[in-house]
A and B are shown apart, each in its own frame.
Chain A
């Protein structure tokens, strides 16, 4: 079809120069995790904990315990907070290797990040098998976006593969419904070693809104060993790309102790 070929050529490149060039990640205006400023927090208020639908914020002995692994980015806490202690932000690059790094802690950076020698050969060729374990389809929509011309994930040497037998990384979305439990395990069992698991979206990290009811578990908790966590509702395509590059040691982990650049 000459028509499309000519159009394609005339349109030129649509792909962003990010992450090579900073800034052009396509996420202008996207709200991320609420930022917790303990200094501004009023004693005995607890409004945010009361309103949080997933218990990402809990009031414990007068202090707040904030777990970004449970946050569905609904922004309710930022709206009820009278002092700005819970403040909306653009902090969406929340990929971490260690679950505890999603829990807010004032000591910030404390995990010296190990280098993963066994991942070396995969740095420029990673194959992913995705399994939807009961998502709301937001994560799928953003994962599909990775292959649109703007993000063009292939250029980074990262590919989705149809068969778990060719996959290095199992990327799971959703809270793991009881009906998807067995198919998920079967996909994992079919993967060759070495194999890794990534939890994408707050549902896969900890269960989200439906976690623990009659139909769902708490995401991958207690089901599969997880090597990479990315909460978000859903995480945007740039957040997914950054997390994958971080996993391959091609980008730094930005979040430590629940704080960006902490």
Chain B
């Protein structure tokens, strides 16, 4: 497969392979199950190591029941639970064998369960039994104050001190992976773009990459360059929003207003360039759906935005009340970040130097001056600084693309043959995004797996909350910059 090497493993070899991966410092990226027509489910593990650009995919067939690898590779815990819920694969010896996505009695059988006639059972999640009268339990959500995405959090606390924190996610599970099934692969980018709006471009890019790998098609240079431009514009408006929202939680009012104003400016540039504030409806397998004309105006507008951004960051760096709230807040140690699979700016703020744009280059990234900022501290302040450095790097990349951009074709034919498969990826604003696609005998999509960055980071986040205090919670959550839609899918 383009971009990946295949390795077939028996059930017995699986645990050994996991241990080898762990000791060699390699990384488990994600795992999923699918059922080739007429056969038992197959489980696939996508792994990488620092020495090679290709991913390595382990395939285990006849996978009705497998040993759980979560005791060795904790980040697999959620992937295995998801497979138990949605594909009916059993994992023996799983440390947390509870439903993750579906409530008890739910099924993936199409039943129109949201029409009111089948209210969901809404069973309680697994919560620890805490038998101490001074420990209070605070459930919060799924409908929270402000305009926020739905999720429920339970805090066990004494006074200000949080003893245990348990998020309950997947209220927003929409069955997005299933929405691809039966679709024409050339058109389904519009589905990928609607998994998580603030990651539309990254999702489109990873989806298109997977289809292009399956079809073996080569994307024209101009389309590759414009894809980098769009991907960096996505990083820009997301990180600007992040800074505004972080100021909201540290109650820096003017800082919040300014961050959100800069975000609005960036979104308006997106619309002027592509017709969509979220950079939607532009990508297709094989390139772009239509050509874009950044003319001179985009470079000028980005330079103005950059100047305002630099002044903004200077003021943030001189605001003690803001910095005091960030420093030492929400510590994520490097080991936990690695073991739980944290990704993107979160892992890079905890000392892990990884970035798909550099380590597994796609689009035109291999030819560009890419800097990957990392810090060791692992606190909210480090997460803020990594994002600030990424904004600066994004401005540089955009200007470089505008300078290099040459006219030429923007689309190549891209039709994946029946029974083909492909892997695509992108480093979105929140971290690593993967799409694995399988094309059926009829040439239509048979299975699409989405690995979103927030699914990974939500797994790591609770470790930074236990044993901290209530006052810091909102700041810590904002410093992670998580989404629910991407995680829940």
In the bound assembly, the distance between CA atoms of A217 and B120 in angstroms comes to 12
Chain A residues with CB under 8 A of B113: 178, 214-215, 217
Q: Are A137 and B315 in contact (CB under 8 A)?
A: no
The answer to the question of B88 belonging to the interface, with a C-beta cut-off of 8 Å to chain A, is no
The listed residue with most A CB atoms (<10 A of its CB), out of B149, B187, B194, B244, is B194
The answer, yes or no, to whether B53 is at the interface (CB within 8 Å) is no
CB of A239, distance to nearest CB on chain B (Å): 11
Cα(A41)–Cα(B179), bound, Å: 30
Contact in complex: B264, A182 (CB < 8 Å): no
Q: How far is the CB of B446 from chain A (nearest CB, A)?
A: 16
Tell me if A83 is interfacial: C-beta within 8 Å of chain B. Answer: no
Residue of B nearest to A129 (CB): B143
A109 within 8 A of B: no
Q: Is A135 an interface residue (CB 8 A)?
A: yes
Question: Within the complex, which residue of B109, B171, B191, B319 is in contact with A214, where a contact is CB–CB below 8 Å?
Answer: B109
Within B317-336, the residues touching A (CB, 8 Å) are: 318-319, 321
Q: Which residue of B lies closest to A131 (CB)?
A: B143
Residues of A within 8 Å of B109, CB to CB, are 214
Say yes or no for B72: interface residue by CB 8 A criterion.
no
Instruction: Give Cα A223 to B113, complex, Å.
Output: 12
Q: Is the CB of A149 within 8 A of B271?
A: no
- Judge if A236 is at the interface, Cβ distance under 8 Å: yes
Determine whether B145 belongs to the interface, using a CB cutoff of 8 Å to chain A.
yes
Verify if A115 is at the interface (C-beta below 8 Å from B): no
Besides A160-B146, A215-B113, 12 other A-B contacts (C-beta < 8 A): A4-B252, A4-B253, A14-B257, A29-B273, A134-B150, A137-B484, A145-B264, A186-B143, A209-B190, A214-B113, A217-B116, A223-B116
Cross-chain contact A135 with B178 (CB below 8 angstroms): no
B410 CB to nearest chain A CB (Å): 13
The residues in B between 196 and 234 inclusive whose CB is less than 8 angstroms from any CB of A are 196-198, 200
Partner of B142 from the list A3, A176, A180 (CB cut-off 8 Å) is A180
Least CB distance from A83 to B in Å reads 18
Bound-state CA distance A72–B119 (Å) is 27
User: Which residues of A in the span 180-225 have a Cβ within 8 Å of any Cβ on B?
Assistant: 180-184, 186-187, 208-210, 212-218, 221-223
Could you tell me the distance between the alpha carbons of A132 and B122 in the complex, rounded to whole angstroms?
Answer: 17
Identify which of B115, B196, B289 contacts A218 (C-beta below 8 A).
B115
Total inter-chain residue pairs, C-beta < 8 Å: 230
Given contacts A5-B254, A7-B254, A72-B194, contact A215 B174 (CB under 8 A): yes
Q: Check A140 for interface membership: any CB of B closer than 8 A.
A: yes
Q: How far is the CB of B429 from chain A (nearest CB, A)?
A: 13
* B173→A3 contact, CB < 8 A: no
Within 8 Å CB of B321, what residues of A?
1
Taking beta carbons and an 8 Å cutoff, which residues of B are in contact with A?
A: 103, 106-116, 118-120, 122, 142-143, 145-150, 170-176, 178-179, 183, 187, 190-191, 194-198, 200, 241, 244, 252-255, 257-258, 260-261, 263-264, 267-268, 271-278, 280-281, 289-290, 315, 318-319, 321, 483-486, 488
> What's the Cα separation between A210 and B181 when bound, in Å?
12
Nearest CB to that of A160 among chain B residues? B147
Residues of A within 8 A of B112 (CB): 212, 217-218
Task: Verify B175–A148 contact, CB threshold 8 A.
Answer: no
Subset of 29 A-B contacts with CB under 8 Å: A4-B255, A7-B254, A7-B258, A26-B268, A28-B272, A29-B272, A53-B183, A74-B281, A88-B275, A132-B143, A132-B172, A134-B172, A136-B197, A141-B198, A145-B260, A149-B264, A160-B147, A176-B114, A178-B106, A180-B150, A182-B120, A186-B143, A212-B112, A215-B108, A215-B174, A216-B114, A216-B175, A218-B114, A221-B115
Q: Mark A161-180, 1 if CB is under 8 A from B, else 0.
A: 01010000000001111111
**A26 close to B147 (CB less than 8 A):** no
The reply to whether A4 and B319 contact each other, CB–CB distance below 8 Å, is yes
CB atoms of B173 and A76 under 8 A apart: no
The answer, yes or no, to whether A51 is at the interface (CB within 8 Å) is yes
Determine if A31 is an interface residue (Cβ-Cβ < 8 Å).
Answer: yes
Which of A143, A174, A181, A213 lies in contact with B178, CB distance below 8 A? A213
A178 in contact with B118 (CB, 8 Å): yes
Across-interface contacts of B277 in A (CB, < 8 A): 30, 142, 236
Minimum C-beta distance from B273 to chain A (A): 7
- For the complex, is A105 an interface residue (Cβ under 8 Å from B)? no
Residues B122 and A182 in contact, CB atoms below 8 Å apart = yes
In this complex, the member of A3, A74, A134, A179 whose beta carbon has the largest number of chain B beta carbons within 10 angstroms is A179
Closest chain B residue to A11, Cβ basis: B258
Distance of A250 from chain B, by nearest CB (Å): 22
* Pair B106/A14 contact, Cβ less than 8 Å: no
- Interfacial chain A residues near B179, Cβ < 8 Å: 209-210, 213
By beta carbon, the residue of chain A nearest B152 is: A183
Chain B positions within 8 Å of A136 at CB level: 194-197, 485
Contact assessment for A29 and B190 in the assembled complex, using a CB-CB cutoff below 8 Å: no
Q: Is the CB of A141 within 8 A of B197?
A: yes
Least CB separation from A146: chain B residue: B147
Does A8 touch B at the CB level, under 8 Å? Answer: yes
Q: How far is the CA of A213 from the CA of B257 in the complex (A)?
A: 40
The answer to whether A256 has its CB under 8 Å from any CB of chain B is no
A137 contacts B198, C-beta separation under 8 Å:
yes
The complex places the Cα of A14 from the Cα of B118 at a distance, in Å, of: 48
Q: Is the CB of A8 within 8 A of B173?
A: no
Contacts of B267 in A (CB 8 A): 145
- A83-94 interface mask toward B, CB cutoff 8 Å, 1 = contact, 0 = none? 000001000000
Given contacts A134-B171, A145-B264, A178-B106, contact A209 B194 (CB under 8 A): yes
Asked if A132 and B174 make an inter-chain contact with CB atoms under 8 angstroms apart, the answer reads no
Let me know if B145 and A162 touch, CB within 8 A: yes
In the bound complex, CA of A134 to CA of B120 (Å) = 14
Within 8 Å CB of A184, what residues of B?
143
The residues of A that contact B253 with a CB separation of less than 8 Å are 4
Indicate if the CB atoms of B260 and A148 lie closer than 8 Å.
Answer: yes
CB distance from B263 to the nearest CB of A (A): 7
Within 8 Å CB of B319, what residues of A?
Answer: 1, 3-4
